[in-house]
Amino acid sequence: MSEGAVETAYAKINLALHVRRRRADGYHDLETLFAFATAGDVLAAEPAADLALTIAGRFAGALSPAGDNLVLRAAEALRAAFGIRAGAALRLDKRLPVAAGIGGGSADAAAALRLLVRLWAIDPADARIEAIAGRLGADVPACLASRTARGDGVGTELTPVADAALAGLPLLLVNPGVPLATGVVFAGWDRVDRGPLGDGEPLAAALAGRNDLEAPAIACVPAIREVLAGLRASAGVRLARMSGSGATCFALFADAAARDAAAAALARPGWWSLKTGLR
């Protein structure tokens, strides 16, 4: 495989997620702090005459390699926008659970854009790439950069955030093994505006913030409450919260030993966990 033909689809974490209002178009205005793990799904590509996708890995069975897959949609949109005639044989190693609040298809689509920009020798600074990302989904622009950022509007209005205090922090992800559709959780939001997300140092802002989707997510998947309680009771935890619309929850720790001890204590049949760190 040629150099640069592998890309990680970094798991997305919402350190805080404030839902402010439901818009007339059905979307929601929100304020969030995006951060990213060092781990994720892995996407590889080789030159080919046409586009093709194969999916392997622990969670491959939850996805279809057909045309509606976000990886293929990203590839097709990029090829059309730049008049590319070449194809690519894509292989996705699906290591993260699906419908889990940690990027999933959005991170995979963003990884496809980064990977194919290199494979097809496209200028990575071309504004059309970010425009494609925005059309693919609200989280895709943040996942395209995969760097700490504040998201406003529907999450696509991004402001980079200084992340020196976050980079390298030990991170534990825990999912109770239940997929949870984003639309269902947003539909359960009580439409109460609980106030803005603060500015300033990102960890302090996150600690002072919240995830407004935790309550409706717990109503759908009560096991989230158990995950959160276990994470928050762990020694050395600095922040524990549900990510996105769930059901994955996360905790940031003072050191890797505390993270690993929490992972061992929270091991349950059917639950998924990942010991990693922040980028």
CB 244 within 8 A of CB 14: yes
Catalytic residues: 12, 139
Q: Would you state the structure tokens that stand for residue 61, as one six-digit string?
A: 């069975």
The CA distance from 278 to 26, in Å, is 32
Task: Enumerate helices (H) and strands (E) in the chain, giving the number of each.
Answer: 9, 10
- 18: its two tokens: 């404030």
**Token pair in block for residue 62:** 């939850």
**50: DSSP letter:** S
- Grouping H, G, I as helix, E, B as strand and the rest as coil, residue 210 is coil
Which residues in 89-104 are b (16+ Cβ under 10 Å) and which e?
Answer: ebbbbbbbbebbbbbb
At 190, give phi and psi (nearest 5°). Answer: -80, 0
Q: Is 203 helix (H, G, I), strand (E, B) or coil?
A: helix
Beta-sheet strands, E only, within 141-236: 149-152, 157-160, 170-175
Contact (Cβ atoms closer than 8 angstroms) between residue 218 and residue 212: no
Q: Closest by alpha carbon to 55, among 46, 39, 42, 68? A: 42
